[in-house]
């Protein structure tokens, strides 16, 4: 398969697309987040990012450099950010997902993002954090919950996993790939 330029890749994704990136560096993941969010935000669409505080800070810094008015987007719910680690702490009970808590969080977020019929997309790394902690089964469960919601809500999903998460269990990478419709490999 021929590699596409990152702009072409992100421009060609459709609603309900479920994309994964296995990243080697935080910088490459944030590069992809910028690509995934910047153009839609400039078109008046909404982006939901469920990422770590460090990745959010760097994403916001880079979006600001592009001239994107973050305070305006945030106040209008066009850029919705959720701390991935905090969200996981609310969703996990005894190393299992509280599916009701997930449904509440996800539905509230999707309702905010899609207000007034706006198109939106969701990027996250909760699954990557789970995998990095050796919880591949939980990561796959969460992938499936988000994918089901993405298909019913017609929005694309972008998931990030640090490559280091697969050091202990290299075979899990194929399980992760199987849950996605596309792989982003810049």
DSSP secondary structure string for all residues of 86-119: HHHHHHEETTEE-HHHHHHHHHHHHHHHTGGG--
| Model confidence pLDDT, tens digit, residues 44-92 | 999 999 999 999 999 999 999 999 999 999 999 999 999 999 999 999 9
Confidence of residue 4 (pLDDT cuts 50, 70, 90): very low
| Model confidence pLDDT, tens digit, residues 110-127 | 999 998 899 999 999 999
User: For residue 186, what are its two tokens?
Assistant: 């810049």
Closest CA to 107 of 152, 139, 74: 152
Tell me which architecture the domain covering 16-183 has in CATH. 3-Layer(aba) Sandwich (3.40)
The pLDDT score that the predictor gives to residue 97 is 85
The pLDDT score that the predictor gives to residue 168 is 84
User: For residue 19, what are its two tokens?
Assistant: 């994309």
Domain-wise residue ranges, the chain: 16-183
Report CA Rg, the chain.
15
The pLDDT score that the predictor gives to residue 7 is 65
Calpha distance 33→55 (Å, rounded): 9
Calpha distance 49→55 (Å, rounded): 10
| Model confidence pLDDT, tens digit, residues 37-56 | 998 999 999 999 999 999 99
∠ CA 40-29-37, nearest 5°, is 5
∠ CA 143-144-149, nearest 5°, is 100
Numbers of helices and strands, H then E, in the chain: 9, 8
User: For residue 97, what are its two tokens?
Assistant: 């997902």
Task: Name the more confident of 5 and 176.
Answer: 176
């Amino acid at each position: 398969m021929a590699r596409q330029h990152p702009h072409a890749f992100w421009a060609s994704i459709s609603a309900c697309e479920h994309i994964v990136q296995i990243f080697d560096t935080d910088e490459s993941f944030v590069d992809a987040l910028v690509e995934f969010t910047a153009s839609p935000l400039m078109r008046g669409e909404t982006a939901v990012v469920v990422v770590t505080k460090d990745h959010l800070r760097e994403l916001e810094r880079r979006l600001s450099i592009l001239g994107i008015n973050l305070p305006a987007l945030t106040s209008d719910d066009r850029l919705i950010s959720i701390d991935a680690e905090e969200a996981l702490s609310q969703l996990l009970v005894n190393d299992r997902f509280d599916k009701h808590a997930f449904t509440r969080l996800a539905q509230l977020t999707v309702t905010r993002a899609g207000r007034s019929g706006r198109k939106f997309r969701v990027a996250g790394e909760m699954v990557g954090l789970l995998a990095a902690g050796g919880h591949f089964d939980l990561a796959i469960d969460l992938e499936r919950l988000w994918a089901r919601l993405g298909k019913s809500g017609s929005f694309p999903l972008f998931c990030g996993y640090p490559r280091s998460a697969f050091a202990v269990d290299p075979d899990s990478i194929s399980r992760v790939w199987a849950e996605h419709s596309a792989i982003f490999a810049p």
